Amino acid sequence: MKFKRAIILSAGFGKRLRPLTDKIPKPLVKINNITLLENTLRFLKKLGVQEIAINVHYLAEQVIHFLKSFDNEYNIKIFKEEKILGTGGGILNCLPFFLDEKFIAINCDTIWNTQYEEPINILSTELEKEKSSIGLLVIEKNKSFDERLKGDFSRDSTNPNLLVRNDKAKNYLIYTGFQIIEPKVFQKTKLTTFSMNEVWNKAIKERKLIGQTQAGFTTFYHITDYEIYNKIKNQKITNF
């Protein structure tokens, strides 16, 4: 399934990447001489996304200036947050942009490459099959370059398409930073500043949170902090 619209979440402070992010925002950090933001833009283009929302807050003007060079290549709408709204609030603030259609929400601190395309297509199919409004791309902990990352989810024992949350030590699936969302998941939401964890937890209770990964997946590269950045920047990442 092709998606017309997506949001790249780019408003965060990037505190764990300090001192790198003292003067530049996390989306403009470079790996293999390509900013994390440009890598994400390229990936969305491969997925067929035509229109992209980008929320900004910390060092926002740097991100806005950077995006001007892509005016002829991407149809971008910038949403500037005067105060940071959190991952859930940031998406909710952009909701009219998506015209009540399913859309992609993506973080730019993962190194996106072609190995993600197949599981994303499967995730889209499973969402339709399960009649769910939200699905996450996840990966097994043992596929993470950063071995310190703890699991976020496990699979439901009766339906392996569904995600659940157990005791933290038992969760073995990591959220990659990619999700497919139907706007109606925000119905009855009264908060303006909140984390997507609140939306996910509600979906888990309703047995509606879908998760997808892929058996042949190789390595999950995520720019967790300054230490991991210094290790990843020297890696040769294929299909980048």
The H or E element containing residue 107 is strand 103-107
Query: Over the range 22-33, which residues count as b (16 or more CB within 10 Å of their CB) and which as e?
Result: eebbbbbbebee
The tokens describing 1, both together, are: 């399934």
Predicted local confidence at residue 237, as pLDDT:
66
Predicted local confidence at residue 218, as pLDDT:
82
**Nearest one of 168, 143, 133 to 153, comparing CA atoms:** 168
For the segment 168-193, what is each residue's pLDDT rounded down to a tens digit? Answer: 678 999 999 999 999 999 988 888 99
Instruction: Give the Cα separation of 122 and 236 in Å (integer).
Output: 27
What is each CA distance from 175 to 27, 47, 107, 128, 221, in whole angstroms? 19, 19, 10, 20, 12
Predicted local confidence at residue 190, as pLDDT:
86
Q: How confident is the model at residue 239 (pLDDT cuts 50, 70, 90)?
A: low
What is each CA distance from 58 to 65, 97, 204, in whole angstroms? 13, 22, 31
Q: How confident is the model at residue 240 (pLDDT cuts 50, 70, 90)?
A: low
Instruction: Give the Cα separation of 164 and 34 in Å (integer).
Output: 35
Q: How confident is the model at residue 213 (pLDDT cuts 50, 70, 90)?
A: confident
For residues 139-165, give the mean pLDDT.
92
pLDDT at 121 over 60: yes
Predicted local confidence at residue 72, as pLDDT:
86
Instruction: Check residues 138 and 3 and name the one with the higher pLDDT.
Output: 138
**Nearest one of 144, 163, 165, 146 to 155, comparing CA atoms:** 163
What one-character-per-residue DSSP string does 164-188 give?
E---TTT--EEEEEEEEE-GGGGTT
Instruction: Check residues 53 and 189 and name the one with the higher pLDDT.
Output: 53
- Residue in the structure block whose two tokens are 């603030």: 93
For the segment 17-32, what is each residue's pLDDT rounded down to a tens digit? Answer: 999 999 999 999 999 8
CB count in 10 Å sphere of residue 64: 14
Predicted local confidence at residue 188, as pLDDT:
83
For the segment 54-94, what is each residue's pLDDT rounded down to a tens digit? Answer: 999 999 999 999 999 998 889 999 999 999 999 999 999 99
Predicted local confidence at residue 174, as pLDDT:
94
Predicted local confidence at residue 105, as pLDDT:
98
Predicted local confidence at residue 196, as pLDDT:
96
